[in-house]
């Protein structure tokens, strides 16, 4: 969802005016990040080991029932697919969890859960630093602007760089679901070979919504040694 970046004091969905200082905005962001971590942990409790292994095998991180990990953080790509994707004839784990969750309609927990359910997989071109905090990026698959809050990415990414990630948009800013892939245009060819041929004529925005696109990006990124190029600086105990 594109949001107006020129708005200086937008209203946040969790109430009140948007804080004007970096520290206040970060405090709101970190509050929502903690909620998203707890929700991720709850959703994962409902996902079977067999389902996780299936996703791990598709990413090249398992053989049979044995995980093959160079870095334990590689499992976060498995968790992402298990939570947010499903075949057309199956429901997603995040949606099944939402049916049983009992949060107050106006609570921050419900706000975050709704944002997680409507998340979008995106490839972002970092344009510049936001005046207050975070980054201004362009979602090149949808040609829309994004105000991205992520402590680690803000400190580690340069203008002009690309990153693939899943986005939550709980208010005027977006935040990542927790896993990122530094992206290069050269990755498109091997990614396309992993996708059904019939997707080749689809619009980029439609391709991005297909569950297999994120899987292909993660698989190519992992094969290319993505963990060697990542340093998660957001929160040390992220989910």
**DSSP-derived secondary structure for 91-111:** --HHHHHHHH----TTSHHHH
Q: Which residues of 138-147 are buried (b: 16+ CB within 10 A; e: fewer)?
A: bbebbeebbb
Q: How far apart are the first and last CA of the chain?
A: 24
- pLDDT, residue 235, reads 42
Point out the least confidently predicted range of 16-20, 36-40, 160-164.
16-20
**What pTM, to 2 d.p., does this model score?**
0.86
Write the CB contacts of 235 (distance below 8 Å, at least 6 apart in sequence). Answer: 30, 33, 34, 37, 151
- Beta-strand (E) ranges in 50-202? 62-63, 66-67, 120-129, 135-139, 144-148, 162-168, 175-183
Q: Is residue 235 part of a domain?
A: no
Q: Is the pLDDT of residue 238 over 70?
A: no
pLDDT given for residue 170 in this prediction = 94
**pLDDT at 200 (0 to 100):** 66
What are the residues facing 102 on neighbouring strands? none
What pLDDT is attached to residue 202?
75
Q: Please indicate, yes or no, if residue 77 is contained in any of the structural domains.
A: yes
**Percentage of the chain modeled with pLDDT above 70:** 86
**In this predicted model, which residue has the larger pLDDT, 213 or 18?**
213
Please state which of the ranges 7-11, 126-130, 143-147, 176-180 shows the lowest mean pLDDT: 7-11
Model confidence at 233, in pLDDT bands (50, 70, 90)?
very low
Residue 54 pLDDT class (50, 70, 90 cuts): very high
Q: Is 113 helix (H, G, I), strand (E, B) or coil?
A: helix
- How many domains does one find in the chain? 1
In a domain, 5, yes or no: no
Give Cα 147 distance to the centre of its chain. Answer: 14
What single string gives the DSSP state of each residue in 7-59? -SSPBPTTSSBPPSSHHHHHHHHHHHHHHHHHHHHHHHTTS-HHHHHHHHHHT
pLDDT value at 191 more than 60: yes
What's the pLDDT at 231? 55
Rounded Cα–Cα distance for residues 80 and 168 (Å): 13
Residue 88 β-bridge partners:
none
Q: What is the pLDDT of residue 33?
A: 95
Q: What pLDDT score was predicted for residue 20?
A: 63
In a domain, 185, yes or no: yes
User: Are 41 and 83 within 8 A, CB to CB?
Assistant: no
Domain that holds residue 163: 22-229
Mean residue pLDDT of the chain comes to 87
pLDDT band at 208 (very low <50, low <70, confident <90, very high): confident
Q: pLDDT tens, 151-183?
A: 889 989 999 999 999 999 999 999 999 899 999
Residue 234 confidence (pLDDT) above 50: no
In angstroms, rounded to a whole number, what is the distance separating the alpha carbons of residues 170 and 31? 12
Does the structure show a pLDDT above 50 at 3?
A: no
- Is 154 inside a domain boundary? yes
Q: What is the pLDDT of residue 205?
A: 79
Kindly state whether residue 7 falls inside one of the protein's structural domains: no
- Per the model's pLDDT, the better-predicted residue between 18 and 82 turns out to be 82
Task: Tell whether 13 is covered by a domain.
Answer: no
Is residue 12 domain-resident?
Answer: no
Query: Is the model's pLDDT at 14 over the cut of 70?
Result: no
Provide mean pLDDT across the span 23-46.
Answer: 95
């Amino acid at each position: 969802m594109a949001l107006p970046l020129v708005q200086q004091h937008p209203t946040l969905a969790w109430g009140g005016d948007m804080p004007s200082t970096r520290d206040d905005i970060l405090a709101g962001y970190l509050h929502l990040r903690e909620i998203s971590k707890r929700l991720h942990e709850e959703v994962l409790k409902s996902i079977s080991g067999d389902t996780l292994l299936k996703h791990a095998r598709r990413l090249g991180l398992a053989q049979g029932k044995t995980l093959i990990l160079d870095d334990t953080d590689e499992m976060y790509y498995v968790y992402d697919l298990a939570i947010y994707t499903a075949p057309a004839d199956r429901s997603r784990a995040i949606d099944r969890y939402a049916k049983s969750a009992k949060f107050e309609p106006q609570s921050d927990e419900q706000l975050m859960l709704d944002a997680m359910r409507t998340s979008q997989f995106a490839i972002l071109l970092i344009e510049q630093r936001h005046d207050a905090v975070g980054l201004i990026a362009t979602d090149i698959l949808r040609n829309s602007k994004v105000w991205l809050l992520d402590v680690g990415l803000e400190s580690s990414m340069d203008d002009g760089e690309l990153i693939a990630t899943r986005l939550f948009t709980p208010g005027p800013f977006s935040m990542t679901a927790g896993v990122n892939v530094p992206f290069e245009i050269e990755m498109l060819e091997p990614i396309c070979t992993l996708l059904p041929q019939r997707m080749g004529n689809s619009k980029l925005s439609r391709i991005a919504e297909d569950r297999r696109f994120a899987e292909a990006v993660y698989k190519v990124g992992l094969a290319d040694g993505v963990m060697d190029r990542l340093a998660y600086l957001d929160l040390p105990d992220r989910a």
